[in-house]
Amino acid sequence: MQQRNLGRQGLTVSAIGYGAMGTAVGYGPSDDTGSIAAIRRAHELGVTHFDTAEMYGWGEGEKLLGHALAPIRDEVTIATKFGLTPTFAPNSKPEHIREVVENSLRNLNIDVIDVLYQHGPDPSVPIEDVVGVMKEFVDAGKVKYLGLSNTDTDAIRRAHAVHPISVLQHEYSIFAHDSEQFFPVLEELGIGLVAYSPLARGFLSGAVKPREHYDASDFRQMIPWWAPENFDENLSIVSELTKLAESKGVALSQLALAWLLAKKDYIVPIPGSRNPERVAQNIAAADLRLTADDLARIDEIAPDGGIGGRGM
């Protein structure tokens, strides 16, 4: 698979990565056996970058990913995140960061975290202090590269002044265009973009279903795209995108991922699936080249993304 550079500090990963949130939380009952098979299938097909977080099962997601990647640890990069509590309140206090990072190393059963992110801003802790603690782990040889997630341009600049930031992680898909506001600062500072939820939390997977299909704990219950007043209109967008995908002989998910890859050469989407066959389908998007006409048609179909906004 094609490789992409994230930042100017030496981080190089596969053009498509793997997002492991769904292996532990958010999208219905977990299936460890299926998840491990999917993770290993992704690697077999060329994926070298795998993303998790403390919040994904509060350590259980990290343990599963660490177990799945243990036989091939030296062939992949592993990213994880800190900064939330079980009530989803922010906590980036220095002592909390230190505790979480040490726990993540143990959960993943690794000596070095390749990419360490702050999961989201903590208004009570200056970003300079947060990155200062993250830098301690770089200096100690326990972290290689630093990243930020779900932040703003001011914080990116202030963080980068303390220690180079290699990558921003932010939601980006045909349905969610918020990330495009970051392009100027990312290009100025030489920072890569890891696009999470590149299939719009499943709306662009080709298998979207109404909200009532999902149980009460499913994240999609809280996302405006699935709200009854928005669902049918978003389904119409998906229908038009599907027609375009079919005209090219590909799946909707492949069209959506190829759209991201065509946007900038420093973007790496991280779709996640517990199904090895769907993983293979997603990864095949790396070989799909969209024309200028294709990109224009997609922008015509969904000029402002999905109706209702991504919410979370």
Q: Where are the beta strands (DSSP E) in 180-249?
A: 192-196
E strand or H helix at 298, and its extent?
helix 292-301
Query: What whole-number distance in Å separates Cα of residue 249 and Cα of residue 247?
Result: 6
Collapsed DSSP state (helix, strand, coil) of residue 42: helix
Q: Which of 56, 145, 172, 266 is catalytic?
A: 56
56 counts as catalytic: yes
DSSP one-letter string for 257-292: HHHHHHH-TTEEE----S-HHHHHHHHGGGG----H
At 223 the three-state DSSP class reads coil
- Where would I find the beta strands (DSSP E) of the chain? 3-6, 11-14, 18-19, 49-51, 77-82, 113-118, 143-149, 167-171, 192-196, 267-269
Active site residues: 56
